[in-house]
Amino acid sequence: MYKIAVLPGDGIGKEVMDATLDVLDSLSIELEYEFGEAGDECKEKNGKALPQKTIDIVKKTDACLFGAAGETAADVIVRLRREMDLFANLRPIKSYPGTNALFDNLDFIIVRENTEGMYVGNEDWVKDEEGDIIGANAEQIMTKAASERICSYAFEYAKKNARKKVTGVHKANVLKKTDGLFKESFYNIAENYKNEIEAEDYYVDATAMYLLTRPETFDVIVTTNLFGDILSDEGAGLVGGLGLIPSANIGEERALFEPVHGSAPDITGKRLANPTAMILSAIMMLEYLNENKAAEILNKAILKVLSEGKIVTEDLGGNSTTSEMTIAIKNEIDAQQK
């Protein structure tokens, strides 16, 4: 029996979470859910986007599933990452059959440092003598410890998953000290794997171009917080959109799993939400819990529904509702478990 913290959040986060729990309940695995509030609606109701009660729920469970938050997303997910020291953000970029993928042979992963960089949130206004705002400053923080920790995670991930290459991404030619430290840390760690895994590095602007011109050459990308955020959305565009991109936030003791997409208020309540990214995030959770058989069954069920393309949501070229696609996935699970 695993205890899972469930934070549906706002908008379609609730819809795709309902779909995912419905699918998980079809598997032969015992999960106990503990629900917590977070997001815009929570802030309106409780005065806080992420109450301490919710944080406590996440801390005492085996893993957390998070749906989506609206305007308060940074207050929720960034704080959760810091509170739990979820230092590694994994974002798989994979081509699935029956989708609008620009390339049909992609299977790489972006490993994003999750705790520092530009996202530490240290910003200040610059004011003139009269107190009028004339500019703003933002601080980027890079430490050797965090840089080496995320690079070690990336190389270990590559080793455990039979990946052959790790690409470090930075902007050390301009940000000589902060990104320079990241690049140095990358090669310090790479030295420990030189007989097993190829190491290379690119500037982030070159990487953005290569993702469009030769994305199939990537295997594992490890990068800083801001760059990982941007590049993973570019990767989503390569394989059919944010509705197909899951993610995992991994720490030494805890983990949180979420789709990359937001709360999508424009389609909330219209039964149009694609549950795939949330369900794929749940598969990553099952793998984290070492429930690999259940993860494989669920993955095969999604692949079958996507490849047939008959019962899929509008963004995937179909006209089915969220619940209809969910039922189709559940039927495939049942067929495998008979």
Assigned token pair, 118: 């530009």
85 is catalytic: no
pLDDT, position 120: 84
205 is catalytic: yes
- Decide if 21 contacts 6 (C-beta within 8 A): yes
* Set 96, 119, 153, 202: catalytic member: 119
Cα distances from 296 to residues 150, 284, 337, in angstroms, run 27, 10, 12
pLDDT, position 79: 87
Poorest-pLDDT segment among 69-73, 106-110, 146-150, 276-280: 69-73
Report the DSSP beta bridge partners of residue 202.
169
The arithmetic mean of pLDDT across residues 248-260, rounded, is 95
pLDDT, position 135: 97
All domains of the chain in start order, with CATH = 1-96+241-338 (3.40.718.10), 102-106+116-238 (3.40.718.10)
Using 50, 70 and 90 to split pLDDT, how confident is the model at 220? very high
75 is catalytic: no
- Nearest Cα to Cα of residue 9 among 278, 285, 17: 17
Assigned token pair, 75: 């207050």
> Please, what's the b/e burial string for 230-248 (b: 16 or more CB within 10 A of its CB; e: otherwise)?
ebbeebbbbbbbbbbbbbb
124 is catalytic: no
* Set 43, 171, 183, 330: catalytic member: 171
- The answer, yes or no, to whether residue 34 has pLDDT greater than 80, is yes
Report the DSSP beta bridge partners of residue 33.
4
The total number of residues written for the chain in this structure: 338
The DSSP result for 203-224, as a single string, is: EHHHHHHHHHH-GGG-SEEEE-
The mean pLDDT value of the chain amounts to 95
Residue type, 182: F
pLDDT, position 337: 85
pLDDT, position 338: 73
- The answer, yes or no, to whether residue 129 has pLDDT greater than 80, is yes
Using 50, 70 and 90 to split pLDDT, how confident is the model at 121? confident
Share of the chain above pLDDT 90, in %: 89
Share of the chain above pLDDT 70, in %: 100
C-alpha span between 87 and 222 (Å, rounded): 12
SS3 54: helix
Task: Render pLDDT for 57-93 as a digit per residue (tens, 0 to 9).
Answer: 999 999 999 999 999 988 898 889 888 889 999 999 9
Q: Which residues contact 161 (CB under 8 A, 6 or more apart)?
A: none
Report the DSSP beta bridge partners of residue 52.
none
* Set 179, 201, 229, 315: catalytic member: 229
25 is catalytic: no
* Set 48, 165, 233, 300: catalytic member: 233
Burial class (CB in 10 A: 0-12, 13-18, 19+), 168: buried
pLDDT, position 67: 96
pLDDT, position 66: 96
Q: What are the backbone dihedrals phi and psi of residue 168, each rounded to the nearest 5 degrees, phi first?
A: -90, 130
SS3 244: helix
Task: Render pLDDT for 193-217 as a digit per residue (tens, 0 to 9).
Answer: 999 999 999 999 999 999 999 999 9
- Nearest Cα to Cα of residue 66 among 20, 24, 105: 20
* Set 25, 205, 293, 310: catalytic member: 205
pLDDT, position 98: 85
pLDDT, position 283: 97
- Nearest Cα to Cα of residue 111 among 91, 139, 83, 133: 91
C-alpha span between 22 and 25 (Å, rounded): 5
